[in-house]
Structure 1
Amino acid sequence: MPRSPLSSPGPSRPAAGPDRRTLLRAAVGVGLGLVGLTACGTGGDPTTTSPTVSTSDPLAPPSPIRTPTPDSPVRRVITLSSADLDVLLALGREPVAAWAADGTGRRPWRDHAAPPAPDWGGPGLPSLRSLLPFGVDGFALAAADPTEAQLRGFEQLAAVMVDPAGRPGWRRHLDLVADAVGRDPDPAAEAAEEALDAWTRGQRRLGVEALVVVVGTGALPDTPVATLDGRSPFGREIRGLGLDVVSYPDPRPYRDLRRSGVQVVRVDPRDGDLVAAVRQPSVSSLPWALGRLVEGRRPA
């Protein structure tokens, strides 16, 4: 059984986590109506594990065949997720078109007019037919979670920007796209790191060792609430800052979540901006989301 993140005064090292099949079953069983914003809900103790990807796993992310090369940077890019759009804009590049499940318009961390969008009203990622008119030479979809069939289809039209290991963290994501489009990632990375370091120092000064992210509209002390899965992209980013993420596989009374050294924060499903930032943390949305979550809050 994984140990509690509060069993030692410093941050714990995450244990080796379940495979993608286990994570997929957990995500399907959530029932919270938040695509990709994974919360726990089956019973047991808090966990702080992180996923590992096995190359022999049939559910492992597909590996790209057609990728950009350093001697031929991509010029005309379509982004296919909110986080991919954030990254390209942070690098000072404009996509020729963009699509995201939660929209491509302005956000608190993205004060930018929405780029053209493919004419696509179907489920999931846009069809190849809807993308043809833009004449692109690259697709940024590292945070879009394409299936193997979709990835092979996109590769028929252009090179793809995707991490073979799965959805990347914010820094790996930034470097991946920067390499593809021939841009320097350091200015955007330095700004994000400065903001994240300041946030982490602020939490440490308050005695915070771990976060619990509640997913819900609000709760009385005895109301059972769901918590964000620590293995989610957002949970992995928090752990990357040196703090633990406490998550429970079953709803727990709100009052039971408050402990010494634990910062309890809440994602309201009605807050589209916060949901988008937590679901797909990026170089620009992650610092904003962390600041928004702890605003005015103190640990127990």
Structure 2
Amino acid sequence: MSQKQEIKSLAYYILDVFTSEKYKGNPLAVVVTNEDLLLSTYKDISKEFGYSETSFIQFSKELNTLKVRSFTPTGFEINGAGHNLLGAVHAFVFDDKQFNSDLNHLPKIIMKDKIVEVAVAGSKLGLLQQPAIIKQAIPTASLLKALSLLEDEIGYDDLMPNVVATEVSHLMVPLKDEKALAKIKSDKRLLSELAKQYHFQGVYCFFITKDTPEFSIKSRFFNPGIGIDEDPATGSAAGPLAGFLHKAGIIKENNEYKITQGEAMDRASDIRVQVKDDGTMVSGNSVIVMKGNIFV
């Protein structure tokens, strides 16, 4: 009689990130591991969940360190710190029985061998991104077919499309109004070609509304090159956008601003950004919606 093969299982959580409301924000799978997995296993699990990103957390009690790795469904490993990292840390805190942790006693957070500074404000977590660097302007004409827009719909005051980077380079596309944002239909092939040509990852389209005491920002994000047709919340793009607007004199240092993303997908997200002298803080809430085990 043959001995049954042992089946290994890993605990996982599903969280909605950059929201306090279930089934809004950006859904994220967070898988708990006790050791490094094979690269193929990270990719297989991420493909199985099918979310824009899946994060894997590994905690060392001895070193008081939380290691995070994140992958898209196509197997691309994410470098930027956005909803993938914010949700991973929230999952760690939610599982207080296993990790005996809370928002006031966080371990050292490491992603891709780099320490990430995490701030706490109430129930919100904030991730400090590097100071923004404006890399290069992109011709408006090259974006018209890729986004199904007219030339006079692109631009806000003197702002025009530019590649901006913190940890990751994204293309910032300012728009005239909310109508232009809503009508966008992205062409995956053309956007992917532009990303290769101008060396950026995703496209962050936005417009500024002044119907609040100061103003808020509404946005949409597309990154077909790594398997994200549209994303409901993108912290790695919110940081570069805040830096872009700050360098243009549109937002002020140390003030907090709201970015709303995901409305076109019926998954409205609330991303908060604050430009500081040493970078940009991107913050938000998360809510857990599922937990279980995945077999590997």
TM, length-normalised to structure 1? 0.24
Higher strand share: 2
